[in-house]
Structure 1
Amino acid sequence: MKCPQIITMSLRSAIVALIGSVSVAEVVAAENWYPYDTEVWHSPFDIDSKRSLKPYSPLKSATKPWDICVSLPHVDDAYWLAINYGIVAESRRLGTKMHLLEAGGYSNLTRQIAQVEDCIDSDADAIVLGAISFEGLNDVIAKAKQHNIPVIDVANGVSSTKVTAKTLISISDLGLNTGRYLADRHPQGSKSVKVAWFPGPPGAGWVESADKGFISGLDGNRSIDVVETRYGDIDKKTQMKQIESVLANHPDLDYIVGTAVAAEASIQLLKEKKLSDQVKTVSYYYTPAVHQAIKRGEVLAATTDSTVIQGRVAIDQAVRILEGRSYDIHVAPKLFVVDAGNIGGLDETSMLAPVDFRATFRVNNK
């Protein structure tokens, strides 16, 4: 099973050599990405419920080119581009049609509602929804159900119980895995280390969840002293200012832990202050910049939610539902931490879109 997915560089090189000018994105779309370690929730509409580990294997192919309509908040950042890539790659592999609508940003709830209504009016066979709002799409989801169109909730989550399936991680678990990683490095009773925690904007639900998970992951470990928690907007200027203040307050700091933006901001500051060897940086979620920084030794570790796999599983769930196959109502990739010890053996395209991939809005299998 693959968590993370492992493929050898020699195998990838051989495939590219055989196919010639075909892009990496097209090659990877045909690769076997499974089985992949996932978790299945016992109570699908309770994100905090118990779950079981399951090696996920998708269908080999669809029985017909089902028309799957996808609605995402946007495809302007690395996260949603990775979701887009997973959706496109799995649609091609299974042989389904796919058309994607993007709302243009999180302020455009009305536009996303209208786009989902367009999916319904166009007689789509299924809808994959990366929702802008936790509550705001419930009515249009109910409308889809009235039209017997299954809705698969991917990545962001909605409160509606009318969705047919979910491919949805727990944000709290991102913090939990990060906290456990530190606790494992510094067991109870070992030399104490000082940690500064930068979870993100104050009052944001996802930040509160990550914060709760992080503290839980530390599990009361007295060898880890969280000397400051700094909430703030996740723009680089704000994060650099906060980190600089914390470094001034705690010249003997050992760790900066927080958002990917905090991690990226810390790299420059630590170099300027000649503290890169003393202070280690950890991100509780994954981005291309963090990925490269781990490779360069500038970031110690980051937790990944295997973003591409979420997109792939959502498409497979849709096809399973349409064909009356067995499916898990709530499933998501098992989270794991990436560091220098395992990054060399990872298939990056389980987490990130290939560098040559561009936002793709339609797959036309026949």
Structure 2
Amino acid sequence: MLDNHVASKSSRIAKVLKVGALSISAAFCLAAATPASAAAAQEDRLQGLIEPIKAEKPYKIGVTLVHLNDDFWKGIAYGIQDEAKRSGVKVVQISVAGAYGNVREQFAQLNALKSLGVDIAVVGAASFNGYDPIFKDMQKSGIKVVAAGIPVNSPNVTFGVGQDDKSIGVALADQICKAKPKSTVATIPGPAGAEWVRLRYVGFMEESKKCPGLNVLPGAFGGNVGLSYGLSQASDLLLKHPDAAFIYTPEISLGMGAAQAIKQLGKRTQVVSSSVVKEAIPMIKDGRFLAVVSEPGIIMGRLIVQYAIRQMEGKPMPNLHKDKALPYPYVLTPPVVITPADIDSHPFNIYEIPPHDWRIDALQ
């Protein structure tokens, strides 16, 4: 099964990312050094990951994403839209499925994109499975299919741009082990059926076993990725396990809910999570979050456009991986850990958070 392939190959993908992670970290350090260097980093919108090119023709891109409830997906949408304007291609529509599991809604949106005559269909899939027939039909119609942000189980994807989810879990476990190895960790694994959720949890649990004295309490997959669910689950966990020093969550809305529960109960428990939104920044600063992994949605969106142009024009596609980890070629952005110590120097406007006045031009 593909799930097993993805899990077994994630460590190798992490090795592939090593050089890229170092370059990204270096870029962060340069951006934090002085205002002048920060401005220079802003000018390099792709941070040296790929050389930007302009399209020879005004290709049409259509987009359907899971939701726009957090800055990760907003960042991808903004990155696609802004890079398209810079690169001479047109975004004809950006649609949202509404939530994970809303596959039927996304199928309707994909059919709408087909009727609009798009050259490239960008899909942040609402589910890991079930998309192969519609992707195959789109490919037969000459439409390139791009997997955005998270993996999807179909060989009829032209290429994908995302991140190594298992390495995110590994990074979070490593932060806990460094901070307090002999401690208890409660876990909120996240919703069932989302492959990225499963991989992060697997990475976290496997890495935690390497930390002597660390007691990780297994959790059950379920619920959603809402703040209220994170709050309720964390409240229950802290009542059952008042000695828990940390709570693991796979993404930031669950993490913020857990952080609220910690504050309400007057605990000193810290949260580890992934992705950054504006509302979480004060919680990272005050220490309720031990660490958060950056998920550079804006960079992903820009890479999607740049690689789509190359794909359409038969030009070289550097750093495109082709192996059994996924059933299609893919590009990965390296994870970067953000802590209270470096939160003020992190360039959110380049990597995660769109401008405050940004609006989607075409939204179904």
**What TM-score do the two structures reach when normalised by structure 2?**
0.78
Q: Give the equivalent residue in structure 2 for 1:10.
A: 35
Superposition map of 1:173-252 within 5 A = 173-186=167-180, 192-201=182-191, 205-227=195-217, 229=219, 231-234=221-224, 235-252=226-243
Q: Give the equivalent residue in structure 1 for 2:354.
A: 353
Q: 1:103 to 1:246 in 2, by over 3 A?
A: closer
With 56-65 and 200-209 compared, the bigger mean Cα shift is at 200-209
C-alpha deviations, 1:307-345, integer Å up to 9, x for none? Answer: 221111111110011121111231021112111233222
Cα drift, residue 13 of structure 1:
9.3
Q: Give the equivalent residue in structure 1 for 2:294.
A: 304
Q: 2: CA distance between counterparts of 1:287 and 1:155?
A: 16
Q: Give the equivalent residue in structure 1 for 2:79.
A: 86
C-alpha deviations, 1:154-211, integer Å up to 9, x for none? Answer: 1232222122111122333321221122223346xxxx12221222235654433222
Matched, 1:144 2:135: no
Equivalent residue in structure 1 for 2:257, among 261, 265, 283: 265
Corresponding letter in the other structure for 1:68: I
Given that residues 174 and 285 in structure 1 are in contact (C-alpha distance below 8 angstroms), is that contact kept between their aligned partners in structure 2? no
Q: Give the equivalent residue in structure 1 for 2:111.
A: 117
* Structure with larger Rg: 1
Q: Give the equivalent residue in structure 2 for 1:48.
A: none
Q: Give the equivalent residue in structure 1 for 2:333.
A: 333
Cα drift, residue 237 of structure 1:
4.2
**Secondary structure class of the residue paired with 2:188:** strand
**Secondary structure class of the residue paired with 1:159:** coil
Q: 1: CA distance between counterparts of 2:102 and 2:221?
A: 26
Q: Give the equivalent residue in structure 2 for 1:313.
A: 303
Q: Give the equivalent residue in structure 1 for 2:47.
A: 35
Given that residues 285 and 302 in structure 1 are in contact (C-alpha distance below 8 angstroms), is that contact kept between their aligned partners in structure 2? yes
Q: 2: CA distance between counterparts of 1:247 and 1:73?
A: 31
Given that residues 233 and 239 in structure 1 are in contact (C-alpha distance below 8 angstroms), is that contact kept between their aligned partners in structure 2? no
Name stretches of at least 5 consecutive residues in structure 1 with no aligned partner. Answer: 16-27, 37-55
Q: 1:202 to 1:57 in 2, by over 3 A?
A: closer
C-alpha deviations, 1:225-265, integer Å up to 9, x for none? Answer: 22463655244444334333333343333212224344323
Q: 2: CA distance between counterparts of 1:357 and 1:227?
A: 41
Given that residues 101 and 115 in structure 1 are in contact (C-alpha distance below 8 angstroms), is that contact kept between their aligned partners in structure 2? no
Kindly indicate which of the two structures has a greater share of residues assigned to helix.
2
Q: 1:309 to 1:243 in 2, by over 3 A?
A: same
Q: 2: CA distance between counterparts of 1:14 and 1:205?
A: 37
**Secondary structure class of the residue paired with 1:332:** strand
Q: 1:12 to 1:297 in 2, by over 3 A?
A: farther
Name stretches of at least 5 consecutive residues in structure 2 with no aligned partner. Answer: 1-22, 321-328
Q: 2: CA distance between counterparts of 1:194 and 1:288?
A: 29
Q: Give the equivalent residue in structure 2 for 1:165.
A: 159
With 62-71 and 233-242 compared, the bigger mean Cα shift is at 233-242
Matched, 1:291 2:303: no
Q: 2: CA distance between counterparts of 1:12 and 1:355?
A: 23
Cα drift, residue 32 of structure 1:
1.6
Kindly indicate which of the two structures has a greater share of residues assigned to strand.
1
Given that residues 103 and 109 in structure 1 are in contact (C-alpha distance below 8 angstroms), is that contact kept between their aligned partners in structure 2? no
Q: 1: CA distance between counterparts of 2:38 and 2:163?
A: 32
Identity %: 25
Given that residues 304 and 351 in structure 1 are in contact (C-alpha distance below 8 angstroms), is that contact kept between their aligned partners in structure 2? yes
**Secondary structure class of the residue paired with 1:117:** helix
Corresponding letter in the other structure for 1:274: G
Q: 2: CA distance between counterparts of 1:361 and 1:207?
A: 29
Q: 2: CA distance between counterparts of 1:73 and 1:316?
A: 22
